[in-house]
Amino acid sequence: MGPGTVAVMTTHTGPVGRLMKFTARPGRGADLAGLLLRVADALDGFPGCLLYAIGRDERSPDVVHVTELWRAAADADAALASSAEATGSPAPSEVLALVAGPPERTDLAVLGGLLPGTGTGPRTEG
């Protein structure tokens, strides 16, 4: 690798994260958050799902964030591919009816830290 060359990670076999930002139609932030909380409930016990946290932006109540942590990318992909009927999750059309546009998504190769359910940091038992 020469000077100024940046290495790009093409394969990551460890935990992965996803940061999602949804903007609801005006005045529908609470409805969207409620629906996404139902998605979280449906993912309880889903293989590889370590965290699926829903939060509303305190300054913009129609903005809802989802923070996901998965044991591996294949687990996250399997959750996306699973049908709403199979998981008891709301249908994607229900979510789309509440959003003002496509969500923003950031994929992360998780390098470490305090990771729930991975044995690499403290866990919160509920």
**Is residue 103 domain-resident?**
yes
The SS3 call for residue 48 is coil
Measured CA to CA, the distance from residue 45 to residue 124 in angstroms comes to 15
Burial class (CB in 10 A: 0-12, 13-18, 19+), 24: buried
Range of the structural domain that residue 100 is part of: 16-109
**Is residue 4 domain-resident?**
no
pLDDT band at 5 (very low <50, low <70, confident <90, very high): very low
Domain of residue 38, CATH code: 3.30.70.100
**Is residue 123 domain-resident?**
no
Q: Is the dihedral of CA 7, 12, 17, 21 positive or negative?
A: positive
Give the residue among 41, 50, 53, 42 at the shortest CA–CA distance from 86: 42
**Is residue 116 domain-resident?**
no
What are residue 103's phi and psi, to 5 degrees?
A: -70, 155
Domain total of the chain: 1
**Is residue 36 domain-resident?**
yes
Specify the pTM.
Answer: 0.80
User: Tens digits of per-residue pLDDT, 41-97?
Assistant: 999 999 999 999 999 999 999 999 999 999 999 999 998 888 666 777 888 889 999
